[in-house]
Structure 1
Amino acid sequence: MSSEANNTFYKFCNALLNTLDKPATWVRENVVEKNRSDYNWYHRQYRRVPTIDECYTDDIVCFIEANEQFRRDKLVDNEVLNILRQRQEDCIMYERPNHVEKCAEIFEAYDKAAENWFIKYGDLGFYGTVKDAYMKQKHRMLWERRHGPVGSGMKESIH
C-alpha cells in the first residue's frame, strides 16, 4: 500500500463505506438473488389467442381477446419500425457522403418493413380494431384476385 492509503482520512472513509455497503451487498447476494427466479425473457409474454377469423360471430370474449392481441402486435410492429428507422438515420449520419451504397441493406429492410406495416395497419387510424384490419385484408385479397397485385393497375374489363 502507498503512504496515501494509510492516512487517517482514508481509513475513516473506508470504514464508513464498509459500514454502509457491506450489509446491503450481503442482503443482495444472499437473500435477493437466491430467491429471484431466473427468467429467460425481460418482458411479459402473452399466450396467443384465436384470431378474429377463428372466433364465432356472437363470441364477444374471443373478439375482445383478439382485439387486445391485435393492439399488442401493433405496438410491437411500431417499435420494430421505429428501431429500423433509427438505424437508417444513424447509418445516414455516420456514412454521409457514401450512405446510399453503404446503407442499402438497411434502406431495403426499412422500406420492406414499412410496406408490410402499411399493408396491415395503414388507413386504420388510431381506433382501428382487429375486425377493421380483417376486413381490409379481405378487401385486399379480393382486389388482388380481380385485378392483380395492388399498385399494378386495374385489368381491362372484358364485356
Structure 2
Amino acid sequence: MKRLWIGCLVATIAIILIACSDKDENLGFDFDENGENIVTMKLPSDELTNTITLEADGDKVHTQTTENEASYDHYGVSSKASAEVAFNDVIAQYRKVEGLTYDVEFLEEGVHETLSVDFDEVDIDALKEVPGIQFDGNIKKGISLKATVNQLEEAGYVIN
C-alpha cells in the first residue's frame, strides 16, 4: 500500500502551484496577456505518461488538468483487480474536495488517471490536505501561468 501511495504521489506530481508573479521570462509559448492561454506540458519518461494542461486568463490559471498513465507494476500492484482495491482510498480522498475532479480507468495493462482542479471553485484548505499537491507561495492570490510553466520546465517538463 505504501508503494501505491508513493506511485500516486509521483504520478500526480500533481499540481505545482505558484503564486502570481510579475516576472517575464522567455516563455516558449505564445502568451496573450489579456486573453485565454492554454499550455500543455509533458514529462518525458519511460515509466509513465504525465501530461499537464494549464488554462489561464492572461497569467492567472483557472484550471489545471493532469493526466497520468502507467503500468500496474509502477503502482506496486499486479492486476486490474488489485489496483481497483488499492486505489479506493486515493479515489475517496480526491473526490471529496470541492473543485477537484478525479477519474481513474483501470486498463488492460495499467492505470489512466485524470486530475482536474478548478481554481475558481476549489476549497484551498481541503486541497492542501491531498497527497501529491504541492504549493509554492500564497495561492489565494492566484496561480501564475508563466511561473508555473517555468517551474515545470525546471522539473523536466516540455511544452507540447
When normalised by structure 2's length, the TM-score is 0.22
Structure 1-normalised TM-score? 0.22
More strand by share: 2
- Name whichever structure is richer in helix by fraction: 1
Q: Which has the higher contact order (CA 8 A, sep 6+)?
A: 2
